[in-house]
Amino acid sequence: MASHLILGAGLVGGTLAGQLTARGDQVILGTRSGTTVPGAAPVKLDAGNPAAVTQAAHGADTIFVCTNPHYTDWVADWPPIFDAVIKAARDSGAALVLMGNLYAYGSPEGPMTEHSPLATTEKKGLVRKSGWEKVLAAHERGELRAAEVRASDYFGPGAAGMSTHLGAGFFEPVLASKTARVVGDPALEHSWSFLPDIAATLIAAGDHTGEWGRAWHVPSASVPRSEIVRQVNERWGVKGRVASIPEWSLRALGTVVPILREISASSYQFRTPFVIDSTETQKVLGVRATPWDEALEVTVDSYRKHPTSS
């Protein structure tokens, strides 16, 4: 029976814990508050504390890093986390799998593959780029085995928050036949990663017996938000709309609301086609995206039954 330490019990960490325990693995779930997930053993720890993470990782086969500091705190909070998990993996012998994103690629000129250059100049992207490079250097020195699983913007039941672009703030207005206000051009193609598919890819990366020291991409659907609204209207009999938040307005609000400043800084992701290519990951790891219609139905039904505004 495999044993794992998951850092972070948000939507990704919680979904991952559920999938791992469902197949009979032992899971320790490390969070600041000791969050509980059925089947997992909770432990209170600070993911940036090397001693605490190393102690929790004792006996683990894999450390999954699914924690995600507040959007406005990446510069301060991520470097200690990377240092802590490197030490924990090195000292415990556990493999290290990072939950990553696409920020480090910067503004793309086409679909992003697992081997696209990390060309970002944006602050949050530079944080993730630096962290991965530090982990990769430790891997290449032979101190640990590491991989990073990169997803696009996630969606699925329970997704909410200002930085969640395909969550409650999008679906609930549409389902109420109102207008969803979004960042960027809603007619552009954009990739969306379904939460269960993110967890499945993390597991496949952790199970992989071949090459490590590399990135994997979560198989994802690429659908413009205007098309998603059309599909929701047609399938659920509503009359929702979608409209772009003016860029000047987002910048102005960002001068007084820190999280909106960070959203504005990464809004390039919604002002050009932003597509993730997972062909190699699908071929090597054998993972597939949940069919779009199925993922959309599960997601929409969750907001209809449990609206965040109620």
Is residue 128 situated within a structural domain? yes
Number of structural domains (the chain) is 2
Cα–Cα distance between 242 and 180 in angstroms, integer? 5
Q: Which among 61, 64, 54 is positioned nearest to 88, based on CA atoms?
A: 54
**Cβ-proximal residues to 166 (8 Å cutoff; 6+ apart), any chain:** 153, 154, 155, 159, 192, 225, 228
Residues 11 and 78 in one domain: yes
Residues 240 and 95 in one domain: no
What's the confidence (pLDDT) of residue 255? 87
Q: Percentage of the chain with pLDDT > 90?
A: 90
Residues 69 and 99 in one domain: yes
* Domain with 85 in it: 3-152+193-217
Q: Per-residue pLDDT for 115 more than 50? A: yes
Band the pLDDT of 161: cuts 50, 70, 90: confident
Q: Which among 164, 168, 5, 10 is positioned nearest to 89, based on CA atoms?
A: 5
Beta-carbon neighbour count of residue 156 at 10 Å? 23
The kind and range of the H/E element at 302 are: helix 292-305
The helix/strand count (H/E) of the chain reads as 11, 12
What's the confidence (pLDDT) of residue 251? 87
Q: Which among 208, 245, 236, 197 is positioned nearest to 99, based on CA atoms?
A: 197
Cα–Cα distance between 11 and 191 in angstroms, integer? 18
What's 25's domain CATH number? 3.40.50.720
Band the pLDDT of 96: cuts 50, 70, 90: very high
Q: 258-310 pLDDT, tens per residue?
A: 888 999 999 999 999 999 999 999 999 999 999 999 999 999 999 999 887 54
Distances (CA, A) of 224 to 40, 159, 241: 37, 18, 13
What's the confidence (pLDDT) of residue 206? 98
Residues 140 and 233 in one domain: no
Q: Per-residue pLDDT for 146 more than 50? A: yes
What's the confidence (pLDDT) of residue 310? 43
Residues 230 and 207 in one domain: no
Is residue 26 situated within a structural domain? yes
Q: 164-176 pLDDT, tens per residue?
A: 899 999 999 999 9
Residue 148 has phi, psi (to 5 degrees) of: -125, 130
Residues 36 and 85 in one domain: yes
Q: Per-residue pLDDT for 162 more than 80? A: no
Are the C-beta atoms of residues 204 and 287 closer than 8 Å to each other? yes
pTM across the whole model: 0.96
Q: Which amino acid is at 195?
A: L
Q: Which among 188, 116, 110 is positioned nearest to 150, based on CA atoms?
A: 116
Distances (CA, A) of 213 to 95, 142, 279, 288: 11, 10, 18, 22
Residues 208 and 300 in one domain: no
What's 185's domain CATH number? 3.90.25
Residues 44 and 144 in one domain: yes
Is residue 285 situated within a structural domain? no
Q: 228-256 pLDDT, tens per residue?
A: 999 999 999 999 999 999 988 888 888 88
What's the confidence (pLDDT) of residue 309? 59
Residue 144 has phi, psi (to 5 degrees) of: -165, 170
Are the C-beta atoms of residues 223 and 165 closer than 8 Å to each other? no
Is residue 282 situated within a structural domain? no
Is residue 284 situated within a structural domain? no
Residues 301 and 237 in one domain: yes
Q: Per-residue pLDDT for 196 more than 60? A: yes
Residues 107 and 164 in one domain: no
Residues 148 and 62 in one domain: yes
Distances (CA, A) of 105 to 67, 117, 147, 244, 269: 20, 6, 16, 24, 10
The residue from 201, 217, 233 where one domain ends is 217
The kind and range of the H/E element at 69 are: none
Residues 42 and 77 in one domain: yes
Q: Is 291 exposed, middle or buried (0-12, 13-18, 19+ CB in 10 A)?
A: exposed
What's the confidence (pLDDT) of residue 270? 95
Q: Which residues pair with 275 in a beta bridge?
A: none
Q: 54-86 pLDDT, tens per residue?
A: 999 999 999 999 998 998 999 999 999 999 999
Are the C-beta atoms of residues 237 and 174 closer than 8 Å to each other? no
The residue from 202, 217, 232 where one domain ends is 217
Q: Torsion-angle region of residue 158: left (phi > 0), alpha (psi -120 to 50) or beta?
A: left
Is residue 281 situated within a structural domain? no
Is residue 13 situated within a structural domain? yes
